[in-house]
Chains A and B, each alone.
Chain A
Amino acid sequence: MIAFESVTVRYDMVTALSDLTEDIGSGEWVGLIGPNGAGKTTLLRAVARLLPHEGEIRVDGVAVSSLSPKRLARLVAYVPQQPELPPDMTVGQYVLLGRTPHIAYFGFETGEDRSVCGELLGSLDLATMAERRLSTLSGGELQRLVLARALAQQAPVLLLDEPTSALDLGRRVEALELVDALRRERGLTVLSALHDLTLAGQFADRLILLGEGRAVSTGKPDEVLTEESLGRHFGASVRVMRSDVGDLIVIPQRVR
């Protein structure tokens, strides 16, 4: 669904991502992990074409550089780490923004657009909040709302940059659980940067460990989340254990 072919991204003189080649299958959830500055956000922004890249990125077989912004937005929905949430916008108005790629330049949304959004709000437990202002929502509600806007694009690919960083422990699991349910229900391909390695291991089908702009390790979570590799690339002492149900647990450790 997403193919990277020798993809390199440079900011002026700095190379933020170099020579990445990777294939992400349809319906797959691939987690991007790695220390700060490793290139996770850069990679996501390059797919959304918010940054120019060298090499080729293809979504559904088409090079993103050849698509109009509108067609790209119907293929790829991007949720940044800190979405802009205008405090006096209503929940309904915000979700409708997700329909933008389906509306003509001078056009306005149709009844169909509104029913798509109404249904999404319902399935994300936000149906009663359509008239509320964003400033009155909790962190968990805002997270679901941002997802609702992305889903309103009806794009088969969902790019999430640290979707849980602003949430408490319970809401984090909840949010990822929701993404998982949605991608199964809608057959979405998910590419997400994930900070929490334990949750990354439990939710993603595959992980890409980025270090200094390169993919240093790729594979199933138990292949990537090894004490040796994480310790080397994160520059910290890390223990990897298994819970009683067999999930991976990654714990940073104080060096004594």
Chain B
Amino acid sequence: MSTTLPRHEDAPVKARAVREEQLPALRPVSARGPVAVALGALLGAVLLGISMGPADLSFSAALRVLLSHVPLLHFHSGVSRIDSDILWQIRLPRVVLGGLVGAMLAGGGAAFQGVFRNPLADPYLLGVAAGAGLGATAVIVAGPRLTQLLPLAAFAGAVGAVTLTYVVGATVGRQGATVSIVLAGVAVAALLTAIQTFLQQQHAQDLQSVYAWILGSLTVSSWSDVVLILPYVAVSAAVLLAHRRLLDVLRVGEDEADSLGVRSSRVRITIVAAATLGTAAAVAVSGLIGFVGIIVPHTVRLTTNASYRVVVPVSMIGGAAFLILADVAARTVLAPSEIPIGVVTAFVGAPFFLFVLRSRRVGRST
């Protein structure tokens, strides 16, 4: 075998020093198409959500009631007072709450997957679920007098757990290293779950209420729940959306993001804080609804281009639509009794996710 050392004059690729023609600029990354599709799905889900239920109300009646509440429009629905109240006071708040919770879980999931560069990261990764579970359990076992405090306790538990995770992660590992934070999250979640289980076993009579909360439900939702979480949801969504370009930069890892002039640990903590605030508010009113934070962002990623500029907004809208539909299934499949919504999201979501994965045959995606 003979090999000759190549001389560099022979190399075929050279930078063209002079360009006669103007090369085309790159096409901008646009989320418009996917956002429009997701909005369409959301609109359909909302209409289905408010027209499905024990009282027989048509699609058009639902639409007319909605229009009659639009300020300045002075539209008269022609729907009876009772039906109108069922729609406006019972179904709509439940649909809106489901939408907000779904948007937060899916948006938070997308953000966590971006920040930790791990396709299996979900919004519960750093202890949100365990912390909320402990807070809720503590209130439930303390007796019915404190029921009013349940959302607050769950919220505080969730935020406290993530804060603890960050503090522990920063002290044991290299400052800001994602691996030590994720590991700290595992440890904190295990500890809090242990305490929660202990409390639960000590108060066996409350087992069913605790269990029902953990499985998640939108049964008792009202406009006051919507108002309660709206500020957190708004702040969280705004921060996550504002960071969608930086989430793309984080995809090349901490070192390279830093060398591109981004303070990646600071960006990361901002995004984690925003996602935590949103998911904590969501679980405070809905309990622990699983799977949404993984299924929705991945479906978006597999069906659109994988840029976070698309994934973040479309996951939020798609997550809202998905959870509204899951709730419709939860309350209609075994009507008049309800299935826990967490069971529906897992039961419907898991096979659907596998179907999407299979049909696209895409291996890794972060």
| Alpha-carbon separation in the docked complex, A89 to B256 (Å) | 15
Interface residues on A, range: 35 or more
Q: Which of B25, B258, B261 contacts A111 (CB 8 A)?
A: B25
Q: Which of B11, B242, B306 contacts A174 (CB 8 A)?
A: B11
| CB contacts between A and B, total, < 8 Å | 147
| Alpha-carbon separation in the docked complex, A68 to B261 (Å) | 8
Residues of A within 8 A of B13 (CB): 124-125, 144, 174, 177-178
CB distance from A186 to the nearest CB of B (A): 9
Residues of A within 8 A of B10 (CB): 173
Q: A69-B263, A92-B27, A108-B245 are in contact. Are A181 and B255 (CB under 8 A)?
A: no
| Alpha-carbon separation in the docked complex, A78 to B259 (Å) | 6
The answer to whether B242 touches A106 (Cβ under 8 A) is: yes
The answer to whether A178 touches B26 (Cβ under 8 A) is: no
CB distance from A194 to the nearest CB of B (A): 14
A123 in the interface, Cβ–Cβ < 8 Å? Answer: yes
Residues of A within 8 A of B263 (CB): 69
Residues of A within 8 A of B261 (CB): 68-74, 100-101
Interface residues on B, range: 35 or more
Chain B 1-45 against A: per-residue CB contact (8 Å), 1 yes, 0 no?
000011110111111110100011111110000000000000000
| Alpha-carbon separation in the docked complex, A86 to B28 (Å) | 19
Q: A115-B25, A203-B8 are in contact. Are A98 and B260 (CB under 8 A)?
A: yes
CB distance from A92 to the nearest CB of B (A): 5
Q: Which of A73, A117, A202 contacts B8 (CB 8 A)?
A: A202
* Complex interface: stretch among A216-224, A230-238, A243-251: A243-251
The answer to whether A86 touches B17 (Cβ under 8 A) is: no
Q: Which of B5, B25, B364 contacts A114 (CB 8 A)?
A: B25
Within B195-211, the residues touching A (CB, 8 Å) are none
Residues of B within 8 A of A90 (CB): 305, 307
Chain B interface, >50% SS class: loop
Residues of B within 8 A of A144 (CB): 13
The answer to whether A181 touches B14 (Cβ under 8 A) is: yes
The answer to whether B251 touches A84 (Cβ under 8 A) is: yes
The answer to whether A92 touches B260 (Cβ under 8 A) is: no
Q: Which of A72, A88, A122 contacts B23 (CB 8 A)?
A: A122
Within A72-109, the residues touching B (CB, 8 Å) are 72-74, 76-78, 80, 83-90, 92-93, 95-98, 100-101, 103, 105-109
Q: Which residues of B contact A (CB under 8 A)?
A: 5-8, 10-17, 19, 23-29, 242, 245-246, 248-249, 251-253, 255-256, 258-263, 301, 305-307, 362-366
Q: Which residues of A contact B (CB under 8 A)?
A: 45, 48-50, 68-74, 76-78, 80, 83-90, 92-93, 95-98, 100-101, 103, 105-109, 111, 114-115, 117-119, 121-125, 127, 130-131, 144, 153, 169-170, 173-174, 176-178, 180-182, 185, 198, 202-203, 243, 245, 247, 249
